[in-house]
Amino acid sequence: MKTTEKISDRVLNMEESATLKMAGLARALRAAGKEVISLSLGEPDFDTPDHIKEAAKKALDDGYTKYTPVPGLLELRKAISNKFKRDNNLDYSENQIVVSNGAKQSLANLSLSLLNPGDEVIILAPYWVSYFEIVRLSGAKPIIIETDISQDFKASPAQLQAALTDKTRFILFSSPCNPTGSVYTQSDLEALAAVIKDREDILVVADEIYEYINFTDKHFSIGSIPYLKDRTITVNGFSKGYAMTGWRLGYIGAPEWVAKACIKIQGQVTSGANAFAQKAAAYALEAPMDASNKMKATYLKRKELIMDLLSQIDGMQVNHPTGAFYIFPDISALLGKSYQGQKIETDEDFSAFILNEAHVAVVPGSAFGCNGCIRISYAASDAEIIEACKRIKTYVEKLEG
């Protein structure tokens, strides 16, 4: 290697995003002429609703083509502040809101703003794949609470208690959860909150990006628990509920001192997010939710379909998601079996087997901190779901041993 070609230790020590990697492998197989069904990437298969696109077109015509304030257009921050009150019983003023290029950037801002090397972040597993590396980017240490299907992949208060140390800086989780689809209910969250009630040095980072794809009666925000009000950062975004992944818009509501730190770092790295996208997003938040509700109803039907189909596969233990658009079956009973003499030892081997033989892309659970499971995104048509499950069943039935 030439001496000029030296990558930083930071990047050398970082894992590639497993979701994006699987999506790339699926794309490559497809380019090689295979009929691949990709259920790997967590992305709505719907297009952004027309009324939001129209608002963006109008914003362009109206001259929203310039830099915006670093934390976002005041109009959008006001709309987000109203949304937090309306939907979440959360009280964040516009000075407590920072809009970023996706919730991914919001999380990176938080990590870089709040953490020092040696700090610990408790991550409830299975966790979204990027949490781990985003925390490590700051030099802090991810402390993983492992859960399994028998507890619906939700951490218990006793587990949280056991993970706390004097170095704990914040707790990070998503609900509805990517990758499991589990939802932490109000009582689940109150029980977890009680554990840290008196640890006023500990913050909570609640990623609620799947809020609008919640099949339970009501989404509950942990920040609405009065004693956590000044200690909770609520992360959200437009990618999932509004099918706006490519628009790159996420946001936080946070204590003002946290918001200020995030603005400082964002001001040096990217500045304000896209101007006309922000304008359309402000409109989306206040417009009727019919399109999002329709998408949610469709995801719910697909969830029933995929649960039914996967349940018919011997060796797959299927969980019962109540939100997002993922299912996270436990395939550990299939590990140790062989296909054409090749042993399948891990969920990674299993995912590679399903991709290469059945031409269905899924993501290994280990990427989310949970061995022996796979994540399947059902943000796909009924026909794709039916065909994918048929192929998975066919190949699982070929396993021996």
Nearest 5°: CA angle at 296, between 216 and 329? Answer: 70
Selected range binding ligand PMP among 66-74, 112-120, 237-245, 368-376, rule: CB under 6 A? 237-245
234 in contact with ligand GLU (CB under 6 A): no
Q: Which of 121, 123, 129, 252 binds ligand GLU (CB under 6 A)?
A: 129
Interaction partner, residue 17 (ligand PMP, ligand GLU, none; CB < 5-8 Å by kind): ligand GLU
Q: In whole angstroms, what is the distance from residue 360 CA to residue 364 CA?
A: 12
| Token representation of residue 129 | 């794949």
Q: In whole angstroms, what is the distance from residue 329 CA to residue 306 CA?
A: 11
| Token representation of residue 251 | 């946001």
Q: Are 367 and 125 in contact (CB under 8 A)?
A: no
**Cis amide prior to 126 (ω within 30 degrees):** yes
Interaction partner, residue 208 (ligand PMP, ligand GLU, none; CB < 5-8 Å by kind): none
With CB under 6 A, what is the number of residues at the site for ligand GLU?
Answer: 10
Q: Are 81 and 107 in contact (CB under 8 A)?
A: no
What's the sign of the alpha-carbon dihedral 12, 15, 16, 17? Answer: negative
Q: Which residues are CB-neighbours of 339 under 8 A, at least 6 positions away?
A: 353, 357, 395, 398, 399, 400
Selected range binding ligand PMP among 25-33, 47-55, 100-108, 215-223, rule: CB under 6 A? 100-108
237 in contact with ligand GLU (CB under 6 A): no
Interaction partner, residue 274 (ligand PMP, ligand GLU, none; CB < 5-8 Å by kind): none
209 in contact with ligand PMP (CB under 6 A): yes
Q: Residue 262 has what DSSP assignment?
A: H
Selected range binding ligand PMP among 67-75, 96-104, 149-157, 330-338, rule: CB under 6 A? 96-104
Q: Which of 41, 55, 196, 252 binds ligand GLU (CB under 6 A)?
A: 41
Phi first, then psi: give them for residue 343, nearest 5 degrees: -80, 140
- Nearest-approach distance from CB 249 to ligand PMP, in angstroms: 7
Site string for ligand GLU, 4-33 (x = CB under 6 A): -------------x-xx-------------
What's the sign of the alpha-carbon dihedral 24, 175, 207, 296? Answer: positive
Phi first, then psi: give them for residue 182, nearest 5 degrees: -70, 150
Interaction partner, residue 41 (ligand PMP, ligand GLU, none; CB < 5-8 Å by kind): ligand GLU
208 in contact with ligand PMP (CB under 6 A): no
180 in contact with ligand PMP (CB under 6 A): no
Q: Are 155 and 182 in contact (CB under 8 A)?
A: no
The residue to which tokens 């003023």 are assigned? 93
User: Could you count the other beta carbons within 10 Å of the beta carbon of residue 201?
Assistant: 10
- Nearest-approach distance from CB 63 to ligand PMP, in angstroms: 26
- Nearest-approach distance from CB 331 to ligand GLU, in angstroms: 19
Interaction partner, residue 20 (ligand PMP, ligand GLU, none; CB < 5-8 Å by kind): ligand GLU
253 in contact with ligand PMP (CB under 6 A): no
Nearer to ligand GLU, 64 or 128 (CB): 128
Phi first, then psi: give them for residue 289, nearest 5 degrees: -95, 15
42 in contact with ligand GLU (CB under 6 A): yes
| Footprint on this chain of ligand GLU (rule: CB under 6 A) | 17, 19-20, 41-43, 128-130, 178
| Footprint on this chain of ligand PMP (rule: CB under 6 A) | 42, 102-104, 128, 174, 178, 207, 209, 237, 239, 245, 250
